Amino acid sequence: MPSAVTFPKSPEDLIQLLDQARSKNLSVTMRAAGTSLAGQTTGDGIVADISRHMHHILDIDADNRTARVQPGVIRDQLNREAGKHGLLFGPDTSTTDRCMLGGMIANNSCGSYSIKYGTTREHVIELDVILSDGSRATFKPLDEDKLHQKMESDTFEGKIYREMISLLKDNRDLILEKYPHPEVKRRNTGYALDKLCEMHPITPGGRPFNMCEMLCGSEGTLALFNEAVVRLEKLEKHKLLLIPQFESLHEALRSTVEAVAFDPAAVELVDQFILDATKGNVEQNRNRFFLEGDPKALLIIEFQGDDMDELRDRANSLKDRLKEKKHGYAHSIMEQPDEQARVWNLRKAGLGLLMGYLSDSKSPEFVDDTAVRVEDLPDYIADFQKILKKHDTESVYYAHASVGELHLRPILNVKTQEGIDKMKAIAEEVADLVAKYRGSLSGEHGDGRLRSHLIEHMVGPEIMQLLRRVKTLWDPDNLLNRGKIIDPEPMDTDLRYSPEYPEIKVDTVFKWRAENGFGEALELCNGAGVCRKKAESGGTMCPSYMATLEEKDSTRGRANVFRQIFSNRQQDGFTAQEIKDALDLCLSCKACKTECPANVDMAKMKAEFTHGWHQKNGTSLSSQFFGNAALLYPLAGTFAPLVNYINSLAPVKGIYQYLLNVHPERKLPDFASQTFMSWYKKFRRSNKMRPADENTKKVVLVVDWFTDYHEPSVAKAALLVLERLGCHVHVVGPLESGRTHLSRGILDKAKTIAQTNIKKMKPYVDSDFRLVGLEPSEILTFRDEFLDLCDDDQLEDARNVAAASFMFEEFLTDEIDEDRFSDCFNGVGQQVHVHGHCHSKALVGNSPVLEALKRANYLPVEMKTGCCGMAGSFGYEEKNYKVSMDIGELTLFPQIRKINDNGIICSHGFSCRHQISDGTGRESRHTSEIVWDSRK
C-alpha cells in the first residue's frame, strides 16, 4: 500500500515531489498503465500517476519522422495522430489501447512486431528527465565534442557522464561477455550497459553515445521521465496473415524457425490453453472463426509491405515450405483487415483469458518472458518442459516466437505452501537454463519485484556490483522506485495470493455457478486494465472510466476494492462504504462481461452488493421507485394525459428531485394513451391468430412494461412483422423480467420473478415456442441472470428457457428464411444508422440488428458507439446526470449530430432512444418499426 498517490501535471511538480520524498525518506514510483507485469509500479512510498494530466502529444514532425510526447500518451493515441501522416510508432504490446509511452520506455516494451521494429529502445531518440537531485537533464545522441562538454560540466549530470564513461571503459569486455548473446533481441535483465558499450567512445567508431538506451528498461529507478522524442516508422500499405495450425507445440516451434527466414513482420504463437479459454469468453468466442478443428497450437504470421502480390508470394512460399516439412494440418491466408483485426484481438486477450480460465493458478508471471535465440527456442522449450515435469506441473505457451521469446506461465496454486515452494524452485532452475543458452531472463516485462533477485544468478556477482554502482551514481539517496533491479525483497514478499489469503465465504442470492462461487468471482480481475482504454479506442467498457478517467471508476478499480474489502471483512463487506462509493458510477452496462478478457461481470457484482447493502441499511425511496416502477404503471396508464402533464410541471419535477433524486433536466417517459395490451385485445377480436402446423414458427412475443405503457408502437410493429412472416404468435405481457430490480439490487424480488417466469414459460418452451423479446435488457435477463437466480431443481428448465429466448432481431435472422423475409419487406436501399444496446452488444453483438435491417433491404451503418449513458434509471438520477451526458458526448451524440435530418436512426434499447432524444433532440426508432415500414 503506498504512503501517498499523486497526479503530477508538470516537471515542476515532479521536482517538488522529489523534494518531499527526500524530506520524508519515501521512494517515488512513477506509474503509467498497461506495461508492467513484474510489480515495477507497486511501492510503499509515493506513487506518481502520470496518466491523468501528462498525456499530451506535443509535436509530430512528419518530415523527420519523430514525435515529442509526454509519458502519459497512450500508444494507440500516438498512432492515431501519426497515422494521419502515414507513420506509426512500431513497438506493439498487447495493451496498445491503454499502455503509455512512459511505461513502454521504462520497461523497454516490445510486442508482436519486434522482429520488424525492435524494442522501444530503438525508437527513443531523446529523453527530458528529472534527475534524483531535482535537476533537469536532456539525454540524446552526442558526438565526441558534445560528450566531452557534458563530462566537463560540474553539475550532477556531468558527474553521471564522467563516472558512467569510466565504468564502461574499465569493464567493457566483462560486460559484453556476461550479458545475453547479442542475437537475443529482447533483453531487459538489469541495466543495458551492453548497449552503451556498443557506442563511441567505448567502442571506437560505434554509434554516438546516448544514455537513453540505458534509461529504456531502467524501470524508473534512475530518473523521472518528463518528455520523450521518439522515432516513427513508415506505415505499410498492406498486411496479410498466414495462420498455420498444428497438432503439437513442438511442431509449431520448429515452424517458427522456418518462418523467420521469410522476413515476416510478426510470428506469434498461441497454444491450446488460450484457445480453450476463448470458448468461454463471449467476445473471443466470436473471434474463433478461423480455427479448423481443435489445434494444439497455431502461429499468427504477418507479412507487411507496399505490394500485396509480393506478400502473397511470400506467404504462399512459406505455406508450401511448411507443407513440404509436414508442419501443420491447416494453413489459412487472410487478407481482409477486419478479419485480421479479429485474429489479433484473440491473441492480445491471451493473458487476461488465462487468468479467468486457470482460476486455480494465481501465480505471478515469474518466468513468463524468458528469451533465447530463435534457433535455440525448440531445444530451450524442451529443457523447460523437463523442469515442469520434475515439478509435476504444466505451462501455457504463447506470444513472440519470432524473436525467441515465449510467455511461459507454469500452472501453480500459490495459495498453498507447496505452490510457493515450486514457484521459487522453478524460478531458479529456469534462470540457470536461460543462462545456459545465454539468453535473457526478461525479454520485455522487466525485473521488477519479481525477478530482480535473480539478476545476479544470471550475470554473476561482478556485473551485479556494476549495476549497484550505476544505481548509487544516479540515485545516491535511493529515492527512485526502491527494490526494483537493485536490493529487491524476496519474490514471495507481498504476494496478492498466498497461503495466508483467506477463503471468501459469504451468503449470496446469486448462485455464481459459472464462477464457482462469489469468492472466485472477486478474484477474476487480474489487473490487465482493458477497462482503462479511452472511448476513441472503441468498445464500451468502461463507460464511467471513459468519462472521468478515474481509476476508481474502472472495472479494475472496483474489482480491487471488492477483493480487498471482502477478503478482510467477509460478510461484513456488504456494509462497506468504500465499495458503495466505487460502484456509484457503475452503469451495469455489462460490457465488462464481454470485453474484459477475464469476464468480470461488475453489473452482477453490483447487484449482489447493493442487495446486501439494502439488507443492512434499508432500501432508498429512489431505489424502490425505480426498481418497482411497474407497480405504479396501471394507475398512471389509466390517467396517461393527466400524468404526462403533471410530470412536466416544474414544481412536480422539484418534488421528484427531492424525493427520488431525479434530475430536473430529465423528462420522464410519457405514458401512451392506449397500452399495447389494450390495443392487442381489440386487434385479436378482428384478426384471428394464424393456426400452427408443423411448418409454422411458433412465437411467444414477450412484451415488457416499458414497451406496453410507453411505446406500444414498438410491440404493434413487432407483432405485425411476425404475423406477416407467417408466425403463430402468442402475446404475453406486460411481463416483468426483474431487470429493474437487478439494477437496484432488489434481488429477493428479482429471484421470485425469475422463478415465476421460468415456470410460466416452461409449457411454451416444451411445446417448441420461441420466446421473443423487444427490449434487449429484459429478454436477455432470461438468458443471463435467470440461470443464476434459480435454485438447482429449476436449473434445467432455466437452461431450456434461456436457449429458447431471442431478441426480436435474433429471431428474424436465426429462425426466418431469408427468401421469405425479402418477399415481405423492401426498404428500397435506405441507410439506417444503428446504435446497439449495451446488453445486446455484450451478450449477442450488433450483428442481428444489422442483418435484420439488411434483409429488409435497408443499408445498415453500424455506428462505432459505446454506452449511451442512460442505462435504465442511472441517467435519471441527479448525482449521475452529468456523467450520463458526458458518456453520451464521448461517441454517441457527436455521431448522431452528423446524420442529416432525414436520416433513419435505429436504437433497439428503450433507454438509448430516450438518451438520444435528451442529448440531441433526434428521434431514434426500434428495429421492429423500421422493418414494418418497409413492408411490401
Q: pLDDT tens digits, residue range 877-887?
A: 999 999 999 99
Indicate if the alpha-carbon torsion angle 214, 218, 222, 228 is positive or negative.
positive
Q: Among 3.30.565.10, 3.90.1150.10, 3.30.70.2190, 3.40.50.300, what is the CATH number of 236-357?
A: 3.30.70.2190
Residues 6+ away with beta carbon under 8 Å from 636: 643, 671, 709
Which ranges of 397-493 would DSSP assign to H, the alpha helix?
Answer: 417-436, 448-451, 455-459, 461-474
**DSSP three-state, residue 749:** helix
Residue with cell 518466468: 367
Q: For the segment 269-293, what is each residue's pLDDT rounded down to a tens digit?
A: 999 888 888 887 777 888 899 999 9
Which three cell numbers, joined as nine digits, stand for 54? Answer: 501528462
Q: What is the mean pLDDT of residues 222-232?
A: 98
Task: Please give the torsion angle defined by the CA atoms of residues 653, 654, 655 and 657, in that order, rounded to the nearest 10 degrees.
Answer: 90
Angle at 925 between CA 923 and CA 926, to 5 degrees: 160
Residue pair 532/98 in contact (Cβ under 8 Å)? The answer is yes
Among 285, 353, 275, CA closest to 599: 353
Residue pair 233/290 in contact (Cβ under 8 Å)? The answer is no
Phi, psi of 293 (to 5 degrees): 75, -145
Q: What is the mean pLDDT of residues 836-846?
A: 95
Q: How far apart are CA 927 and CA 848, in angstroms?
A: 10
Q: What is the mean pLDDT of residues 652-670?
A: 94
Overall size of the chain counted in residues: 936
Q: What is the pLDDT of residue 162?
A: 98
Where are the extended beta strands (E) located within 774-925? 805-807, 831-835, 859-862, 904-907
Is the model more confident about 148 or about 94? 148
First vs last C-alpha separation in the chain: 67
Distance of CA 21 to CAs 4, 17, 103, 453, Å? 10, 6, 21, 25
Which ranges of 666-807 would DSSP assign to H, the alpha helix?
Answer: 676-686, 705-709, 712-724, 739-743, 747-766, 776-783, 786-789, 795-803
Q: What is the pLDDT of residue 911?
A: 97
Which three cell numbers, joined as nine digits, stand for 214? Answer: 540505458
Q: What is the pLDDT of residue 526?
A: 84
pLDDT > 90? residue 646: yes
Among 54, 190, 39, CA closest to 130: 54
Query: What does DSSP say about strands 395-399 and 266-271: parallel, antiparallel, or unpaired?
Result: antiparallel
Q: How far apart are CA 331 and CA 333, in angstroms?
A: 7
Q: How far apart are CA 504 and CA 518, in angstroms?
A: 8
pLDDT > 70? residue 581: yes
Q: What is the pLDDT of residue 351?
A: 64
pLDDT > 70? residue 357: no
Q: How far apart are CA 548 and CA 587, in angstroms?
A: 13
Residue with cell 505499410: 236
Q: How far apart are CA 642 and CA 648, in angstroms?
A: 10
Phi, psi of 269 (to 5 degrees): -100, 140
Residue with cell 507487411: 304
pLDDT > 70? residue 597: yes
* Residue intervals in the chain for CATH 3.30.70.2190: 236-357
Q: For the segment 22-35, what is each residue's pLDDT rounded down to a tens digit?
A: 999 999 999 998 88
Distance of CA 296 to the CA centre of its chain: 25
Q: What is the mean pLDDT of residues 465-493?
A: 96
Phi, psi of 783 (to 5 degrees): -85, -20
Angle at 346 between CA 340 and CA 349, to 5 degrees: 135
Residue pair 278/349 in contact (Cβ under 8 Å)? The answer is yes
Q: Give the model's confidence band at 359: pLDDT under 50 very low, under 70 low, under 90 confident, else very high.
A: low
Q: For the segment 168-202, what is each residue's pLDDT rounded down to a tens digit?
A: 999 999 999 999 999 998 888 899 999 999 999 99
Q: What is the mean pLDDT of residues 53-77?
A: 97
Phi-psi domain of 377 (left: phi exceeds 0; alpha: psi -120 through 50; beta: other): alpha
Residue pair 35/109 in contact (Cβ under 8 Å)? The answer is yes
pLDDT > 80? residue 356: no
Which three cell numbers, joined as nine digits, stand for 732? Answer: 404475453
Which three cell numbers, joined as nine digits, stand for 434? Answer: 536461460
Residue 845's identity, in one-letter code, is: G
Q: What is the pLDDT of residue 819?
A: 87
Q: For the segment 413-453, what is each residue's pLDDT rounded down to a tens digit?
A: 999 999 999 999 999 999 999 999 999 999 888 899 999 99
Among 727, 703, 733, CA closest to 715: 703
pLDDT > 90? residue 929: yes
Q: What is the pLDDT of residue 651?
A: 95
Q: Of all residues in the chain, what percent carry a pLDDT higher than 90?
A: 85
pLDDT > 70? residue 355: no
Q: What is the pLDDT of residue 360?
A: 64
Q: What is the pLDDT of residue 397?
A: 83
Q: Give the model's confidence band at 396: pLDDT under 50 very low, under 70 low, under 90 confident, else very high.
A: confident
Q: Which of 61-70, 272-281, 460-469, 647-656 has the lowest mean pLDDT?
A: 272-281
Query: What does DSSP say about strands 224-231 and 124-130: parallel, antiparallel, or unpaired?
Result: antiparallel
